[in-house]
Amino acid sequence: MKTYKIDNSKISEFTKRGNNRVFKIVAITTVTMSVLMFSIIRQKEVSAELIYTMFLPLLFTTIIIGLNYLNNKKLTSLVAENLKIIIDENSITKVIDVENDPRLNFLHRLAMKKAKNITKDLYYSKIDFDNIKSIEKKNGDLWVKAINSNAFNGENIILVPRELTNFEDLEKDINSKLK
pLDDT one-digit tens code per residue, 138-147: 888 999 998 8
Check residue 39 and give its pLDDT: 78
Check residue 107 and give its pLDDT: 77
Check residue 163 and give its pLDDT: 92
pLDDT one-digit tens code per residue, 63-118: 888 887 888 788 888 888 889 999 999 999 998 877 777 787 877 777 777 777 76
Q: Is the pLDDT of residue 21 over 80?
A: no
Q: How confident is the model at residue 7 (pLDDT cuts 50, 70, 90)?
A: confident
Contact between 123 and 112 (Cβ < 8 Å): yes
* Mean pLDDT along residues 117-146: 83
Per-residue CA distances from 85 to 3, 67, 79, 90, 100 (Å): 6, 31, 13, 14, 19
Q: State how far the Cα of 7 lies from the Cα of 14, in Å rounded to an integer.
A: 10
Look at the alpha carbons of 64, 14, 123, 129 in this order and tell me if their dihedral is positive or negative.
positive
Check residue 3 and give its pLDDT: 92
Q: How confident is the model at residue 154 (pLDDT cuts 50, 70, 90)?
A: low
Q: Is the pLDDT of residue 52 over 80?
A: no
Which residues lie below 8 Å from residue 156, measured CB to CB, with a gap of 6+? Answer: 121, 125, 127, 145, 146, 147, 148, 149, 150
pLDDT above 70: percentage of residues in the chain:
93
Q: Are strands 83-87 and 2-5 parallel, antiparallel or unpaired?
A: antiparallel
Q: State how far the Cα of 120 lies from the Cα of 124, in Å rounded to an integer.
A: 8
Check residue 104 and give its pLDDT: 77
Contact between 99 and 112 (Cβ < 8 Å): yes
* Mean pLDDT along residues 114-141: 81
Check residue 84 and give its pLDDT: 93
Q: Can you give the pTM of this predicted structure? A: 0.72
Mean pLDDT of the chain: 82
Q: How confident is the model at residue 48 (pLDDT cuts 50, 70, 90)?
A: confident
